[in-house]
């Protein structure tokens, strides 16, 4: 079995991250709808999701610094989706008057997503600064 090419590896991690994003969001929504019935699954799912996202983001940054670009897949999309999900849950919780408590792992994962975006944005800015011709 041969190792994945750069393109295949990046695509693999992107797809895996997208799949785990959808699965984790579905779990969070289902946990909310069932008032914490799946809380025991939130921690492990958060850990797997965070690992996939981190590996995918790190691989994209390594590719950037190796001048190997596959395409654009902006991290802002993940942050926007996470923000919508959390605001949606908070709004629904207030609107329904439920006693649902958002798992600390969910909040921690949101913070990780924000951190990954901040780090990759800074890396991109440094890359552009170092690689663009100076006048």
Instruction: Report pLDDT for 69.
Output: 61
What global pTM score does this model have?
0.81
pLDDT band at residue 123 under the 50/70/90 scheme: confident
Domain boundaries, the chain: 6-131
114 contact partners, CB below 8 Å, separation of at least 6: 79
Higher pLDDT, 127 or 110: 110
Report the chain's mean pLDDT, rounded to a whole number. 85
Task: Give the whole-angstrom CA distance, residue 70 versus residue 9.
Answer: 11
What integer pLDDT is reported at residue 72 of this predicted model? 63
d(CA 53, CA 113): 8
pLDDT tens sequence across 64-114: 666 666 556 677 888 999 999 999 999 999 999 888 899 999 999 999 999
Task: Say how many Å lie between the first and final Cα of the chain, rounded.
Answer: 48
pLDDT at 130: 77
The stretch 49-57 carries a mean pLDDT of: 92
Which pLDDT tens digit goes with each residue over 5-42? 656 777 898 899 999 999 999 999 999 999 999 999 99
Mean pLDDT, to the nearest integer, of 39-53? 96
Q: Tell how far CA 8 is from the center of its chain.
A: 20
DSSP 83: H
């Amino acid at each position: 079995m041969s190792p994945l090419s750069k393109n295949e590896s990046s695509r693999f991690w992107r797809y895996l991250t997208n799949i785990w994003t959808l699965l984790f969001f579905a779990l969070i929504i289902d946990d909310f709808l069932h008032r914490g019935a799946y809380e025991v699954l939130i921690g492990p799912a958060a850990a797997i999701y965070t690992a996939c996202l981190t590996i995918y983001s790190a691989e994209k940054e390594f590719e950037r610094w190796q001048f190997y670009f596959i395409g654009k897949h902006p991290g802002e999309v993940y942050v926007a989706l996470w923000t919508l999900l959390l605001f949606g849950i908070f709004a629904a919780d207030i609107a329904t008057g439920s006693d649902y408590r958002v798992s600390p792992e969910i909040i921690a994962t949101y913070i990780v997503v924000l951190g990954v975006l901040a780090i990759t944005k800074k890396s991109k800015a440094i890359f552009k600064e170092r690689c663009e011709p100076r006048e």
